[in-house]
Structure 1
Amino acid sequence: MSGARLRAVVVGDLLLDVDVEGEVERLTPYAPVPVLDVVSETKRAGGAGLVATLLHRDGHDVTLVTALSDDARAGDLPGLLDGVTLVAGRSPSPTVVKTRIRSREQPIVRIDEGSAPAEAPEVTAAMLDAVRGADLIVVADYGRGLLEDAALRAAIEAAAADVPVVWDPHPRGARPVPGAVVTPNLGEARGFSGVEGSGVPFADEAALRLLEAWGSAAVVITMGSHGALLRTSARGLPLVAAASVVTDPDVNGAGDRFASALAVALGSGSTHSEAVQTAVATTAGFLADGGVATLVSAPVAALPGPDHDALAVVERVRAAGGTVVATAGCFDLIHAGHAKTLAAARALGDCLIVLLNSDDSVRRLKGPERPLMTAEDRVDLLSALQVVDGVVVFGEDTPVDAIRRIRPDIWVKGGDYNAGSLPEASVITEWGGRAVTVPFFPGRSTTKLAAAIQRVS
């Protein structure tokens, strides 16, 4: 995520997440029980620690206000929070450890330790001071008693008058303070509100009840693959921000990604509706890239601005041994010919990246009256097509430099081209790629479409 560097404070329960990956190829000789041959074990800061990690990776100055046990498991946690400032009181309860056992990226079982009801943790003056100095606050309540502390609650409620406070609640957690933006999921909303049902009508009714009961600045109910519903008032209509489709996502950490992205958007000056749309898109991208699994490796080297999402797709597909396909164009007024060409290109591999001419590039190629739509709008339209997995905007007259950044396996052009007429054809061979053409669909033309629109306008 891009934008100004913010002072983010995360308040909540710090957990230890452990991922054990292995292979299951046999059963025990004495019972039909699968045997897992362990390949790797990875530890991560979980709960509020995951929120802090995500915000730090987004480029913000992050302070984590939490409580730490003095057991052996707690000793692992500070080292997993590299770059995050830790301000912690003492917890008399054991560290909560959540161990996920997986084989071939499929969960087998989760083992929880230390999740019995917790004793009240210590809250120090330093913890209260950290809350008062924030540009934004994310509360990650996992029901361990920290957010029941009266002084800490008062500090968060006072901060909510001046800075965004996003509160991710827990069924066994504390009541959100007034003035916060609260983000329950569907199951939590059902439990908190007492409303029964499913889908958008249920979510809206639950949001209305919670908005009044909690005195919240807004209630955002996350609905999984259906996006999120926002209510800021009992008047008017709710906003439903749709989510892009993610195939077989690992949803672990999705709520933490949503809350952190929402808080950053609000802290950067977005309205509630803008921030919810940003958070939905960010969470979908997080899940599409592999979710929390991406946090154990070095971050992908970013392309400028929104191009980072496209590069993340490329790296993920390439790491899985897939084929990266790319094409380019102005795509000014997308028509049926474009749709057919893009669908044909996508069928050649495992992802399709579109290299899009910038507005200045289009003007140089097409004349001062073009483009008809801004690059931002063209990116949105292309991204909405199911066959397009990412978009990169380039400002040159040819996409050669952008191609070198993406390094596709297959380069696609629509129409009657030969290798000699394509400056990019020789570039693609530098890493063993191939340039191909797909059928051209006559009669479909942006120029003709624009002229027809002008005649009837």
Structure 2
Amino acid sequence: MTGLEPLVVVGDVLLDRDVRGVASRLSPDAPAPVVDVTDDVSRPGGAGLAAVLAARSGREVVLVTALGEDRASDRVRQALVGRVRLVELPLHGSLPVKTRVLADGRPLVRIDRGGGEVGRADAAVGRALAEAHAVLVADYGRGTTQALRSLLTGAARRVPLVWDPHPRGGPPVPGARLVTPNAAEATVLCPGEGDSLAAHARRGAELAERWAAAAVAVTLGERGVLLTRPRSAAPMLVPSPYRAAGDPCGAGDCFAAVAACALADGCLPEEALQLAVASAAAFVSAGGAGDPALWRTPPATGLARPAGGDAFATAASVRARGGTVVATGGCFDLLHAGHVGLLESARRIGDCLIVCVNSDASLRRLKGPGRPLNPLEDRLRVLAALGSVDAVVAFEEDTPEALLDRLRPDVWVKGGDYSADDLPEAQALRAWGGQAVVLPYLDGRSTTGLADRAARAAASGS
């Protein structure tokens, strides 16, 4: 593994099955659509999906869950090999199976079957939680978290614990660092008061106090997430970076998994939520839990978390699943509308966008004394916060050619009005079959122009 301390995911695993097809006619014996099946896939759901998504951070992930001796349990075990380490509780019965029937990508019906009783935990479960650097509880109300409640209460006193609740499950243990109900779940737990931000803020604060949680993050779909604390009158809204069109199945698991990994890395809750919201949007846009790339091959160690993760691991992951790696570069000293438009356009070209950034010394040699206006650390952080950016990496040289030789993107993007063949990086890209492209740049926007206007305004006001 990567040397990162383990994250322990505790909760109920399900087997999710998607039966996909096309519906172009109605049944002759009932007013129901006939689905001509084109695909039938199964994958771990519930806590299993949350654990797989958490493993993309590159840290070791231990999944504590109940599995039985049935075929569905065996399929879950096989799917998790090489992804997470399993610590099992006995399941007396069969694993729950959720089957969605989708026509033209839209769900028609869901069929649930199976279920059982969770058995007693053994010493291995206690050791796993004792060694955890952080804990994510994915409670689907099937009994796993209830069976481990005393152990989870102890863990919350020692390490960051994120609890993703379910109306059918029990309340979070006291001391949870973050609880992540969605709007519908929060409304069930605190009925009434409507769907306004103010109503959700009151619910979140009430739940935080009721559960003795440090914070409650109510996820609001396209509106983002509302961070609330006990007896706090100032909730914080973290909006989604863009409107994600796609299958939302598993978005809550993605949100909770990324938030837990970020807290394990030492992030503040506000920082963790920004990462989690951007990651959930990207997850939905990529197809949600049904994205074949998520399950095609076990992830390599060191996979980066979205937005600001390790550039080389991100490129390797995308390349391994047959995707297109896009990169661009520049100083990005004062991020402006021209930069944002270029980055958004570049991201749409492929399956990830890696931004190569001049170091402070490199930028100073390029732009002269007085630059940079913002140090490298700040520039990297601002870029990493953009929803269009999957990873950032700095280079010390005057040009990014040496970095590109290591990164080997499929497409190198620059903004401007010159020919792609004239780019100094174009020849380097040909060595591995890469392509340089030029995208239109928003006229009249530049860091130098902004700095000049600011200087003139300051001078006229003095």
TM-score where L is the length of structure 2: 0.81
Indicate the residue corresponding to 1:329 in structure 2. 330
Q: 3-state SS of the aligned residue for 2:95? A: coil
Does residue 94 of the first structure (1) align with residue 116 of the second (2)? no
Indicate the residue corresponding to 1:174 in structure 2. 170
Indicate the residue corresponding to 1:405 in structure 2. 408
Q: 3-state SS of the aligned residue for 2:89? A: strand
Q: 3-state SS of the aligned residue for 1:114? A: strand
1:356–1:391 CA contact under 8 A, matched in 2: no
Indicate the residue corresponding to 1:109 in structure 2. 109
How much has 1:35 moved relative to structure 2?
Answer: 4.5
Unaligned runs of 5+ in 1: none
For residues 240-319 of structure 1, the aligned pairs below 5 Å read 240-292=237-289, 293=291, 294-298=293-297, 305-307=309-311, 311=315
Question: Which amino acid is 2:366 matched to?
Answer: L
1:228–1:241 CA contact under 8 A, matched in 2: yes
Indicate the residue corresponding to 2:57 in structure 1. 58
Matched positions, count: 444
Which of the pair has the greater relative contact order for Cα pairs under 8 Å at 6+ separation? 2
Aligned-pair identity (%):
42
How far, CA to CA, are the matches of 1:8 and 1:261 in structure 2?
11
1:313–1:389 CA contact under 8 A, matched in 2: no
How far, CA to CA, are the matches of 1:139 and 1:339 in structure 2?
36
For residues 343-354 of structure 1, the aligned pairs below 5 Å read none
Superposed CA RMSD: 3.8
1:189–1:206 CA contact under 8 A, matched in 2: yes
For residues 341-380 of structure 1, the aligned pairs below 5 Å read 355-379=356-380
How much has 1:173 moved relative to structure 2?
Answer: 0.8
Indicate the residue corresponding to 1:218 in structure 2. 215
How much has 1:168 moved relative to structure 2?
Answer: 1.0
How far, CA to CA, are the matches of 2:129 and 2:158 in structure 1?
12
How far, CA to CA, are the matches of 1:445 and 1:53 in structure 2?
42
What are the Cα deviations for residues 169-214 of structure 1, in whole angstroms up to 9, with x where unaligned? Answer: 1111112111112211100101112243113211110011111211
TM-score where L is the length of structure 1: 0.82
What are the Cα deviations for residues 17-69 of structure 1, in whole angstroms up to 9, with x where unaligned? Answer: 12334455666676675544444433222111112222233222222222223
How much has 1:306 moved relative to structure 2?
Answer: 5.0
Indicate the residue corresponding to 1:123 in structure 2. 121
1:289–1:312 CA contact under 8 A, matched in 2: no
Question: Which amino acid is 1:205 matched to?
Answer: R
How much has 1:3 moved relative to structure 2?
Answer: 8.5
Q: 3-state SS of the aligned residue for 2:50? A: helix
How much has 1:125 moved relative to structure 2?
Answer: 4.1
1:18–1:44 CA contact under 8 A, matched in 2: yes
Indicate the residue corresponding to 1:207 in structure 2. 204
How far, CA to CA, are the matches of 1:327 and 1:59 in structure 2?
24
Q: In terms of mean alpha carbon deviation, does 158-167 or 89-98 score higher?
A: 89-98
How far, CA to CA, are the matches of 1:378 and 1:7 in structure 2?
30
Q: 3-state SS of the aligned residue for 1:123? A: coil
How far, CA to CA, are the matches of 1:394 and 1:140 in structure 2?
36
Q: In terms of mean alpha carbon deviation, does 365-374 or 251-260 score higher?
A: 365-374
CA 299–380 in structure 1, closer or farther in 2 if over 3 Å, else same: farther
Q: 3-state SS of the aligned residue for 2:280? A: helix
CA 378–271 in structure 1, closer or farther in 2 if over 3 Å, else same: closer
How much has 1:360 moved relative to structure 2?
Answer: 3.2
How far, CA to CA, are the matches of 2:11 and 2:214 in structure 1?
20
2:319–2:325 CA contact under 8 A, matched in 1: no
Indicate the residue corresponding to 1:72 in structure 2. 71
Indicate the residue corresponding to 1:43 in structure 2. 42
Match of 1:145 among 135, 139, 143: 143
2:275–2:385 CA contact under 8 A, matched in 1: no
Q: In terms of mean alpha carbon deviation, does 359-368 or 390-399 score higher?
A: 390-399
Indicate the residue corresponding to 1:197 in structure 2. 194
How far, CA to CA, are the matches of 1:351 and 1:76 in structure 2?
29
Q: In terms of mean alpha carbon deviation, does 173-182 or 349-358 score higher?
A: 349-358
CA 309–285 in structure 1, closer or farther in 2 if over 3 Å, else same: farther
1:91–1:122 CA contact under 8 A, matched in 2: no
How much has 1:447 moved relative to structure 2?
Answer: 2.8
1:13–1:142 CA contact under 8 A, matched in 2: yes
CA 316–389 in structure 1, closer or farther in 2 if over 3 Å, else same: farther
How far, CA to CA, are the matches of 1:440 and 1:91 in structure 2?
59
1:121–1:145 CA contact under 8 A, matched in 2: no
Q: 3-state SS of the aligned residue for 1:220? A: strand
CA 340–231 in structure 1, closer or farther in 2 if over 3 Å, else same: closer
Indicate the residue corresponding to 2:225 in structure 1. 228
What are the Cα deviations for residues 248-293 of structure 1, in whole angstroms up to 9, with x where unaligned? Answer: 1221111111222222222222222222223223322333333322
How far, CA to CA, are the matches of 2:44 and 2:347 in structure 1?
39
Question: Which amino acid is 1:423 matched to?
Answer: P
Q: In terms of mean alpha carbon deviation, does 82-91 or 304-313 score higher?
A: 304-313
What are the Cα deviations for residues 399-425 of structure 1, in whole angstroms up to 9, with x where unaligned? Answer: 4453973222x844414x456753234
Indicate the residue corresponding to 1:156 in structure 2. 152
Q: 3-state SS of the aligned residue for 1:92? A: strand
